A and B are shown apart, each in its own frame.
Chain A
Amino acid sequence: MSTAIVSRTQLLSRIAAALLGGYVLAWGFIALGVAAAFAAGMPFHDAEHLFSLLAFLLYLVTFLWSFAARDPRRVWLVLAGGGALMAVLASLIQHALV
């Protein structure tokens, strides 16, 4: 019985990681991509289009990885942690530009 409960929470955690963690990572990816590319001289709308295009593919890959990966804690660390880190970097770049 207890294993069933453990695996149910584990499953919920993976679903949440796939949906929310993946979203955070994709967000951070777009933010950092747009800020960095704009800083490097790419036209703003080009950067916006390019990185949101790639972000959806990234979201797809991380979604699948959330279920395929062995350790769900690592999934959370990479997705939420990586997303937050990239978002912070994006804000720093913006701060330097504006």
Chain B
Amino acid sequence: MFQNFRLAMAWVHTWFGLFLGFVLMVVFFFGSLSVFDREIDRWAIPESRFEPQPMPSFDEILKPVFEDMQPSRESVDQMRSRVDGPMPEHFDTPVRWGAYTTHRDPVLGLFAGYQVPNANNPDELVWGTRTIDPRTGESLPDDQLKIGSRFFYPLHYSLNLHWKDLGYWIVGLAALIMLVALVTGVIMHRKLFRELFTFRPKKSNQRSILDLHNLTGVVALPFHFMFAFTGLVIFAGIYFPVTHTQLEPLHDLHEVVESQETGLPHERSGVAAPIASVDAMVAEAQRRWAARDMAGDVGFLALQHVGDANGYVSIYRAGTDRIALTGEGIHFKASTGEVLREDPPPSTVERIDEFLTGLHLQHFRHWLLRWLYVLGGLTGCACIATGFLFFVEKRKRQHAKRGQIGSRVVDALAVTTVTGMLIATLGILIANRLLPVNLPARGDWEQYCFWGVWGLAMAHAFWRTAPVALGKLAPAWREQCWAIAVLAVVAVVLNWVTTGDHLLKTLSAGYWPVAGVDLFMLVSALVAVFTARRLQRRPRPQSADGSELSGEAAHA
């Protein structure tokens, strides 16, 4: 079918890369933004613009909040069909309380899970969440959309497409194809090292686009490979649920053994018991970490079987100083504060797994490395985008001669996923600043704006790529670049007008989360203007036969 190995690999690279490239673009771009998801949250929720806080006192601040919590209406509604009889008005038996924070969170997210009387599956809980100001314990409105951590971040790994986990599967396939494209790309690219630093902007469009594609693909090759690979590893349980289907019996066997080993009670005893001072347990956990030469803050705190004699408190360390996601969990008996168990040091396999997942999830405190990750992610975007452009450049004249529309459709989709995606991103940020503060379901409206704006950008892309069918450059690229420039400036100005936090103020106060988002948008505007102006110039004469292209380009 294929004449030789290299041609087979080139075919795989071109066609799988093209089809999944549109998904990969979204994954890489929103992955890059997710590096600063908490900072984008600050921008989007002005009430939360203050300094990150450590985990507050449980006894004084958290306990009263937890005791006041109830499951959310959605959670209760979802559960209704799986219960015999009516739902109670008030849920009295909390099974689990948890609070999670990072070194970048001013506000603290809490969650609570409650037992449901007469549930078909007694282990199934209803859940409630709350966001508080950890300095006072005061609740912040919980219906505001955390655009960074609750919209861009899940978009990165699930496309926010939750029906039957379809989004996860599409992203998983795209990640596999990313690995495939990297390997096939290296096979196709004959002069990997000799041309490592090569970018010739003065040569033909096709040549310089291919240079840029190779350059961005090769220099960040380890990054691209590791992130696609670790992304798959993180969700291995979703993609290969072997131990929850075929090997479920083996898994259950192991669970029984494990809970005997850990000594942490699996069930409630039914005997009520008060909670001892959790602050004392936190102090003890910190003392034990310090004794192991890993002094640190609390990242995650959870109570299991709340109010029961079997209740226990688990305290995990925030992993800010290393890559591996290490919890160093210490578990206490809730009623007495006695230590039940210290998690043993991880095995070699666990160490590898924690390193790989931690590398991707980045809980560490290292601003340089965060920015380098953004650079890596954006390099990936550039690599994918130039891949589309090369596909179009290579075929559009031939398609124009034959009256085919293939390259026009690809170009329109490329405009949609490259510039259109940026416009949609700015669209949701602008909507966030413009929608009335007390609009019901405001967060939903912000999301509709995102998808609506993206739809409009797509319509524009299909309309304004008509010249591609004649072998010319599409004006859609240039026009959407101008749109990005305008919208980015509008977003920065709106932030100023609606919150009073203009750049001079945030910069002089050193409040980087908001200043950084503003600056990033302004820089994007500059890049967009630069690109639009370059595209406006008259196109260079093209070499008619592309004879200067190497064999590699000829069959890509």
Contact = CB atoms under 8 A, between A and B. Distances in A.
B183 interface: yes
B247 A35 contact: yes
A44 B349 CA distance: 11
Contacts of B229: 56-57
A80 interface: no
Contacts of A35: 247, 250
A27 B242 contact: yes
Given A34-B250, A97-B250, A11 B1 contact: yes
Contacts of B253: 97-98
Interface in B350-365: 350, 352-353, 356
A34 B9 contact: no
Best-surrounded residue of B5, B173, B176 (most CB of chain A within 10 A): B176
A14 to B, nearest CB: 8
B176 A63 contact: yes
Nearest to A95: B249
Contact of A53 (B176, B184, B352): B352
B547 interface: no
Contacts of B8: 67-68
Contacts of B2: 67
Interface string A6-41: 010011001000010000001100110011001000
B445 interface: no
A23 B11 CA distance: 21
B349 A30 contact: no
Given A44-B251, A94-B249, A68 B350 contact: no
B198 interface: no
A87 interface: yes
Contacts of B9: 64, 67-68
B180 interface: yes
A26 B247 CA distance: 15
Interface residues of B, number: 35
B349 A50 contact: yes
Contacts of A43: 347
Given A46-B347, A52-B236, A53-B352, A60 B247 contact: no
Contacts of A38: 250, 254
Interface in B324-372: 347, 349-350, 352-353, 356
A19 B356 CA distance: 25
Interface string B165-185: 000000001001001100110
B246 interface: yes
A9 B250 CA distance: 41
- Dominant SS among interface residues on chain A: helix
A38 B2 CA distance: 42
Best-surrounded residue of A19, A27, A44 (most CB of chain B within 10 A): A44
- Dominant SS among interface residues on chain B: helix
Contacts of A10: 1
A35 B254 CA distance: 11
A49 B346 CA distance: 13
A43 B253 CA distance: 12
A48 B243 contact: yes
A31 B248 CA distance: 11
B550 to A, nearest CB: 22
Contact of B247 (A19, A34, A49, A55): A34
B227 to A, nearest CB: 13
Given A34-B250, A56-B232, A98-B253, A67 B12 contact: yes
A70 to B, nearest CB: 9
A79 interface: no
Contacts of A68: 5, 8-9
Given A26-B240, A68-B8, A53 B356 contact: yes
A55 B172 CA distance: 14
A37 to B, nearest CB: 10
A23 to B, nearest CB: 8
Best-surrounded residue of A11, A19, A67 (most CB of chain B within 10 A): A67
A67 B246 CA distance: 30
Interface string A46-78: 101110110111011001100110000000000
Nearest to A33: B242
A80 B482 CA distance: 51
B229 to A, nearest CB: 6
A11 B1 CA distance: 8
Given A94-B249, A98-B249, A49 B353 contact: yes
22 contacts: A19-B173, A30-B242, A34-B242, A38-B250, A44-B254, A49-B236, A49-B349, A52-B237, A52-B242, A53-B233, A57-B229, A60-B176, A60-B180, A63-B180, A64-B183, A67-B8, A67-B12, A90-B246, A91-B246, A94-B247, A94-B249, A98-B253
Given A97-B250, A98-B249, A98-B253, 9 more contacts: A14-B1, A38-B254, A46-B349, A57-B229, A60-B179, A60-B180, A68-B9, A90-B246, A94-B249
The 3 A-B pairs with the shortest beta carbon distances in the complex, nearest first, are A52-B236, A44-B254, A46-B349
